[in-house]
Amino acid sequence: MDEEEFQPRKKQTGEITVGEDLTQFSIEELTLRVSALHEEKNRVEAMIKEKKAQTSEAENLFKTDG
């Protein structure tokens, strides 16, 4: 096993951590953070919609008349 697997992951620039202490951020940074979170929410909701459509297509493909 690689020892790096057990090391804490380094935070990338602009990465958001849920539950992170927000007192260190400026108003501008917090505003950017909110925008990024809205974009991520939209991205996640689009993926949910896509996966539901795929599931529905698969169910219809294997549906048996009976």
Query: pLDDT (tens digit, 9 = 90+) per residue, 4-63?
Result: 777 665 566 678 999 999 999 999 999 999 999 999 999 999 999 999 999 999 998 888
pTM for the full predicted model: 0.66
Nearest to 20 by CA among 5, 9, 8, 30: 30
CA distances 12 to 1, 9, 16, 66, Å, are 24, 9, 9, 54
Tell the residue number behind the tokens 């690689």, with chain if given.
2
Sketch the domain layout of the chain as residue ranges: 28-59
- The answer to whether the beta carbons of residues 35 and 16 sit under 8 Å apart is no
- The answer to whether the beta carbons of residues 16 and 37 sit under 8 Å apart is yes
